[in-house]
Amino acid sequence: MNHLRLADIIDQPKINETVTVKGWVKTFRANRFIALNDGSTIDNLQCVVDYENTDAQLLKKINTGAAVEITGQLVESMGKGQSIEIIVSHLVVVGEADPDLYPIQPKKHSFEFLREKAHLRVRTATFSAVMRIRSVLSFAIHQFFNQKGFCYVHTPIITGSDAEGAGEMFRVSVLDPKNMPLDDEGNIDYKKDFFGKETNLTVSGQLESETYAQGLGNVYTFGPTFRAENSNTSRHLAEFWMIEPEMAFYDLTDNMDLAEEFIKYTLQHILDHCKKDLAFLDQRLTQEEKSLPQQQRSPMGLVEKIKFVVENEFKRVSYTEAIEILKNSKPNKKKKFDYLVEEWGTDLQSEHERYLVEKHFNAPVILFDYPAKIKAFYMRMNEDKKTVRAMDILFPGIGEIVGGSQREERLEVLEKRIEEMGIDADELWWYLDLRRFGSTPHSGFGLGFERLVLFATGMSNIRDVIPFPRTPQNAAF
């Protein structure tokens, strides 16, 4: 490889050296100035073409979107807007882009339009910045757990159990839908299917992570998870990535401490390593919000908001306290909430979560000790027999970003819960075995990766922080 990355050239320019660069043309102005980008940085590099001595046919091929290879001398720029530029001595158009057909022209495109062009949208400044931050964040996540001695486990994608007990799963089957084998009772006979039983794409790697924590101590999994819930919102995907640590001998407080430290570490990491991309996205957000009425604009800029989260303690509040706050809140009394908060035991809607975070506490909030009725079967029952040791972390602009709990480690209590909730205990025999042999108090949580990327980039729709979003009625690309 004989060419250099723009990121390296721009960060440490070697003035007067001759360099070769390769990338895509962002714009070509006055038959003279190419703004080049190769994806390694948000910055474009200006390349100055000597058009009088360049073949006219070649000049015609230098269009937005074309791939080019350029060699020339790096000099200090006289023009405004950049400190260095390349004086082109050799230029090859490696791949042309017909200006009448190439959809990503140098003008403002809506995110809706760009979702239709998801295979090309990473060539825009915004999407390249978002995807670089996404990459750095995932690296930081592995680094955090690695430094703490956690073992990275790869939990299965295809499972026979429903970890969340919500039944919102995608079936995995090789049976012919036009000719389903039936058993004596007329039900589909999954014994004839590939695995000899009903299987699905996993909604969570938690249950398998728990088994590994009960042998390796501290583990985490970071992989794709799938939910067939018909939630067409800016916060839900049918396929998303989740980070799920699981720790033997951790109680709920240890769990909350780890989750808070973890989130702050990853955000600090991008503050340190993604300065230019964050500055760009910060500016983008400010610009975009200019068209909104004052009350709807974010009170803080993007970088300021990330720093605020890193530097301040998350507020820890029980579900019961939160319900009291919400009951007595102005929007509840004035009937401004779509769902009024009336009694203890109801699930919180995102409008309630956002009120707590954005209006009442003005900080990320960890809500804990939820009613058992609205939480999954595996959470540890409290003494009051009404609440479980659950915790959710709520973020400004996002709502729930983490869901976790201390797990029920007592065999009889867990068996009773499974029965009460009508779950098939036979499917969970191995999970129950963990409570039979060397059971420990243990805890874990799941962080929705795309929700973290949403927060870190200031984007407003989850479809714009994953390369190819899967949502109801949409699995293009």
Q: Tell whether residue 163 is a contact of ligand 4AD (CB under 6 A).
A: yes
List the structure tokens of 451: 């929700």
Burial of 404 (0-12, 13-18, 19+ CB in 10 A): buried
Decide if residue 204 touches ligand 4AD (CB under 6 A).
yes
**Of these, 372, 445, 463, 469, which contacts ligand 4AD (CB under 6 A)?**
445
Biggest alpha carbon–alpha carbon distance for the chain: 85
Closest approach of Cβ 402 to Mg ion, in Å?
8
254 contacts ligand 4AD (rule: CB under 6 A)? no
9 binds ligand 4AD (CB under 6 A): no
**How near is the Cβ of 352 to ligand 4AD at its closest, in Å?**
15
Nearest in space to 477 (alpha carbons), one of 239, 266, 279, 274: 239
In the bound complex, what is the minimum distance in angstroms from residue 425's beta carbon to ligand 4AD?
Answer: 19
Alpha-carbon distances, residue 48 vs 25, 41, 228 (angstroms)? 12, 20, 52
Q: Is 354 in the site for ligand 4AD (CB under 6 A)?
A: no
- Which partner, ligand 4AD, Mg ion, none, binds residue 204 by CB below 5 to 8 Å per kind? ligand 4AD
Cβ distance to Mg ion smaller for residue 333 or 373: 373
Residue 237 near ligand 4AD by CB under 6 A: yes
How many angstroms from the chain centroid is the CA of residue 110? 21
163 binds, options Mg ion, ligand 4AD, none, Cβ within 5 to 8 A by partner type: ligand 4AD
242 binds ligand 4AD (CB under 6 A): yes
Under the criterion CB under 6 A, does residue 210 sit at the interface with ligand 4AD? no
Using CB atoms within 10 Å of the CB of residue 117, give its burial: 0 to 12 exposed, 13 to 18 middle, 19+ buried: middle
Q: Is 399 in the site for Mg ion (CB under 5 A)?
A: no
3-class secondary structure for 407-438? ECCCHHHHHHHHHHCCCCHHHHHHHHHHHHCC
434 near ligand 4AD, judged by CB under 6 A: no
Choosing from 190, 240, 319, 355, the residue that interacts with ligand 4AD (CB under 6 A) is 240
Q: How far is the CB of 204 from Mg ion (least distance, A)?
A: 10
Residue whose Cβ sits closest to Mg ion: 403
Measured from the Cβ of residue 173, the count of other Cβ atoms closer than 10 Å reads 16
How far apart are CB 342 and Mg ion at their closest, in Å? Answer: 22
What is the total count of residues that contact ligand 4AD (CB under 6 A)? 21
Q: Which residues contact 233 (CB under 8 A, 6 or more apart)?
A: none
**Interaction of residue 458 with Mg ion, rule CB under 5 A:** no
Q: How far apart are CA 389 and CA 381, in angstroms?
A: 6
Q: With binding defined as CB under 6 A, does residue 403 bind ligand 4AD?
A: yes
* Residue 90 identity (one-letter amino acid): H
Q: Please choose which of Mg ion, ligand 4AD, none residue 364 contacts, taking the beta carbon within 5 to 8 angstroms, the exact cut-off set by kind.
A: none
Among 72, 205, 301, 403, binds Mg ion (CB under 5 A): 403
What residues form DSSP beta bridges with 199? 172
Task: In whole angstroms, give the CA distance from residue 25 to residue 30.
Answer: 14
- To Mg ion, the closest distance from the beta carbon of 348 in angstroms equals 10
Q: Using CB under 6 A, which of 227, 305, 380, 389 touches ligand 4AD?
A: 227
Interface segment toward ligand 4AD; rule CB under 6 A; list 120-128, 175-183, 235-243, 343-351: 235-243
User: Does 404 contact Mg ion by CB under 5 A?
Assistant: no
**CB neighbour class for 182 (10 Å; exposed up to 12, middle 13-18, buried from 19):** exposed
Backbone angles phi, psi at 334, to 5 degrees: -90, 10
Residue with tokens 């108090």: 441
Residues 6+ apart with CB under 8 A from 168: 203, 227, 228, 229
Q: Which residues bind ligand 4AD (CB under 6 A)?
A: 163-164, 204, 206, 227, 236-237, 240, 242, 244, 400-404, 444-446, 448, 450-451
Q: Which residues bind Mg ion (CB under 5 A)?
A: 403
